[in-house]
Structure 1
Amino acid sequence: MTSQSFQIAAQLAAMGQAPKDYADSVANAVDAKTDFTIIYPNGGSEGAPAAIAANTRYVMANPFPNEGGQPVKVRCELQTLIAGVWANEGFSYTNSGGSGATASQISTGEIVVQVGYTGFQISSTNVGDGHGNTSSYGASRTARVLVWKVKGAVA
């Protein structure tokens, strides 16, 4: 250790419990502003996730309670299940219509999943999903939405 390191260590030791208490209070404040959960569209649950279908819109309640009379701001990521693997879903538009699905929060605070007109008819290379599939997978997929409560908002 350098002499400066010894000085800092000595100063921290002289402070006793104060630095830890401060670090704990900061961690608790951050923890109170952030959270995470998974919700399932179309009446699904963790034990029985449901499929989402082509050309369909699913509106779900925000899983976090309002704060100060305002909806809690969240970040959403739609995931679909293929061959036992959950991965993010992409979206693309072609001449035959939109393919894929997205999840987002609307100004009312609700979470919306929108599935494209053609369902999931395009490969991963075209929609950018995480599955890596090279062929289309039809009109429906089992789905879930990862939801993060976030601090800060853009009105």
Structure 2
Amino acid sequence: MFRVKRKAHRTEFSSRDTTGAAFLLASLFLMGLYLSWKGGPYHAALYILLWVLSYIVIYAGTCRHCAYYGKNCPVPLEGQCVHYFFKSSGKPFTFMALFWASVSYLLRVIVPAYILVVHAMVFFGAVYLGIFILYWFLHLRITGCSKCVNTGCPLNPDYNK
């Protein structure tokens, strides 16, 4: 599996470190809300419900296993908020934690993706996909994985199988 090169070891990320990710995640949410509203108020309500559900999924399946539990992590509103909802599992971070993170992001984009396909919104689809790719590029290559200390994650440069 392709992994990024190690840039640093951050035991906690500052808000300055995550400003770009926060902006892109907020942009992804707001554009998704706009697109969902194009499908009608029920689609918009479903989108918001799934976005909230995605946090429950990622907190329960991923964040409570992470080295950044209860700390500022590279993803806004995740590591620093999980302790309000779930206790630390005490178990190591595994591939399954990464699976649940993927499920949570699928929940976040499924309604806008549906609207984009049904309404053939090519321009908005390109913009939405661009924001999504830019967010993950930033996280995987620049601010997150390259500085993360969570060696149990398969995306970590120091992943120990």
TM-score grouping bracket, smaller chain normalisation: under 0.3
More strand by share: 1
Alignment TM-score, normalising by the size of structure 2: 0.23
Q: Which has the larger radius of gyration?
A: 1
Structure with larger RCO (C-alpha < 8 A, sep 6+): 2
TM-score (structure 1 length as normaliser): 0.23
